[in-house]
Copies of this chain bind each other. A is one copy, B any other.
Amino acid sequence: MNDTKKLGRPRTFDEAEALMAAMNAFWTKGYAATSMKDLTAAMKISGPSIYAAFGDKRELYLKTIDRYADVDGCAPIVAFEGAASIEDAVRGFLTSVVSHSTQQEGAPRGCFLASCVATTVGEVEGVAERMEKAIRETDTRLAARFDKEKSLGNLPKDFPSQDRARLLHDMRQGHVHRSRAGWTAERLLDDLEDRVRMVLMI
């Protein structure tokens, strides 16, 4: 029952591609400083097409946030959850943070969500809930693995999973902050091993 053929003239652009282009524009200049002219240039779609496909500027912005939270923003956590040992997990998380905030091709430095928190929470309706959710989910997923490793005996019984999850999260915020301010990946990786030991108390 899945109709592949839709009524009316078909789109000439890829929706996902256009969304990523819009996200990069917002990420680079910030929400307010990104004009519709910037967006049409980045997305390679004319103004009215943007409004027809994504709604107004604010709605487009919220859609880029949702997309980022589902794709790029998740990469470090996926690395964390997929690693074999808990030590590799922490190391992989931080390494992924560094590479994503400094070497991501085509994307600006730092973290899109961090930019959103800094400038549009409380100013653009709909952002605050999304940011709170992003923080909560990251803390929860990190803590979940710590708890699992505790039950497996790979971490001490009194290991404070919640605290260390938040700590790891905050290390990320520090890294994306430094990255955005111009720090190279090399410098960011300088104290990587010290941080891994900190988080795991080893």
Contact in complex: B117, A177 (CB < 8 Å): yes
Contact in complex: A194, B160 (CB < 8 Å): yes
Question: Is A7's beta carbon under 8 Å from chain B?
Answer: no
* Cβ-defined partner of A181 (8 Å) among B135, B166, B181: B135
Smallest CB–CB gap between A198 and chain B, Å?
6
Question: Is A123's beta carbon under 8 Å from chain B?
Answer: yes
Using a CB–CB cutoff of 8 Å, the interface residues on chain A facing chain B are 28-33, 108-110, 114-115, 117-123, 128, 131-132, 135, 160, 162-163, 166-167, 169-175, 177-178, 180-183, 190-191, 194-195, 198
* Cβ-defined partner of A123 (8 Å) among B30, B167, B182, B195: B30
- Residues A195 and B167 in contact in the complex (CB < 8 Å), given A115-B118, A118-B119, A180-B117: yes
* Cβ-defined partner of A163 (8 Å) among B167, B169, B191: B191
Instruction: Please state the number of chain copies in the assembly.
Output: 2
Smallest CB–CB gap between A71 and chain B, Å?
20
Contact in complex: B110, A118 (CB < 8 Å): yes
Contact in complex: A131, B30 (CB < 8 Å): no
Name which of A118, A119, A120 has the most chain B CB atoms within 10 A of its CB.
Answer: A118
> Can you give 12 contacting A-B residue pairs, CB < 8 Å?
A29-B123, A30-B30, A30-B32, A32-B33, A108-B122, A115-B118, A117-B181, A135-B178, A160-B191, A163-B194, A166-B174, A170-B178
Smallest CB–CB gap between A183 and chain B, Å?
8
